[in-house]
Structure 1
């Protein structure tokens, strides 16, 4: 990857140093189980930032042929970590044959295909209904309606942010007013189960709308227009923090 990007150094570190440090981390993963210590000799440690980075670097080369193949046929290819989303006009049988061929690229990487007019990508469900794309929130079968309990000792602003953020996701994901209402009420019930006062839930739902200058309730007639306003609103960029000069103190 460093050769591909033609980088000689990053942040003052030479590529040789980066490679040596990375090799040291990958080759020195140890863990204990049942009073025994083990040395991991294949792969990387789960949760390690370096493992994720190296995996993405490897996938960059693994998927290049697939990406070109999909895009050259007028399709779309997206990947987030280990989830891939493809839109193509290929017949289902042809796509399955191609997936089988892709699975021969590397014996350690196996792709399993879910093909149909409705697919799930991360927490989004996408349906092709007579040429119209419909979206809504997707929840895995193992989903449980548990959020940070309102009676926890966490700061109040953290708990208030949950209904705010979850309703924002519902509006962004739900392409129809009906699916939005369904998701909103499921969210409300989950929050009530986690001891959130109904007043707090309503206040945060309303605050979310006010943030986008929406001063009236969402209805069947105005939902699409207001949803587009939410989607088109720019996302604030994260502030760059100089941790050598800044110190953060959190009081509870």
Structure 2
């Protein structure tokens, strides 16, 4: 990704090797406390880790490529939450399958619409007869 976007990223004079070394060091110090004990997270990103959102965006950028090549009717993503609209259920299933094939460590889940409304972030979205309706949504606690 650094190579692909080299002209768009200000590395503040750091080489690609320096950046990779710094990222690896940050990720190797993934220590968290649970139930009074300390653990080292071996794979993935810890919630609250400062690099987590940036690395999630980078990772999802790679995972979403095969879906974007299919030109869905609509594709939106915020960090790792995707919203995809296709013209058929088969195409939707195919997009879901493609995204889940990209990594053995990440498996995406799907939300099921309720009365035609699909939750996405803090909204609910409904597509009916080509018209998109949006309303506020608050997840039940």
Q: Structure 1 residues 58 and 98 mapped into 2: Cα distance closer, same or farther (>3 Å)?
A: closer
Greater helix percent: which structure?
1
1:86-126: per-residue Cα shift (whole Å, max 9, x none)? Answer: 12212x24422442343222122212233654222111112
- After superposition, the CA RMSD in angstroms is 2.3
Q: Structure 1 residues 125 and 9 mapped into 2: Cα distance closer, same or farther (>3 Å)?
A: closer
From 73, 80, 85, the counterpart of 2:78: 80
In the alignment, structure 2 segments of 5+ residues that lack a partner are: none
Q: 1:27 maps to which residue?
A: 28
How far residue 78 of structure 1 moved from its aligned partner, in angstroms, is 0.7
| 2:93 corresponds to 1:96 | yes
- Return the TM-score normalized by structure 1: 0.49
Distance 2:33 2:127 in 1: 48
SS, match of residue 77 in structure 1: strand
SS, match of residue 12 in structure 1: coil
Give the alignment of 1:98-177 within 5 angstroms. Answer: 98-114=95-111, 117-142=116-141
8 Å Cα contact 1:77-1:87 kept in structure 2: yes
8 Å Cα contact 2:75-2:83 kept in structure 1: yes
Distance 2:86 2:29 in 1: 42
Distance 1:33 1:115 in 2: 32
- Return the TM-score normalized by structure 2: 0.82
Q: Structure 1 residues 114 and 46 mapped into 2: Cα distance closer, same or farther (>3 Å)?
A: closer
Distance 1:21 1:50 in 2: 11
Distance 1:33 1:120 in 2: 30
Computing the radius of gyration from Cα coordinates, the structure with the larger value is 1
Distance 1:40 1:132 in 2: 45
Distance 1:98 1:129 in 2: 21
Give the alignment of 1:175-190 within 5 angstroms. Answer: none
8 Å Cα contact 1:9-1:15 kept in structure 2: no
Greater strand percent: which structure?
2
How far residue 38 of structure 1 moved from its aligned partner, in angstroms, is 2.2
> Could you list the runs of 4 or more consecutive aligned residues of structure 1 that deviate by over 4 angstroms after TM superposition?
none
- The alignment covers a number of residue pairs equal to 138
1:62-104: per-residue Cα shift (whole Å, max 9, x none)? Answer: 11111121x2x5x1111112211112212x2442244234322
Q: 1:218 maps to which residue?
A: none
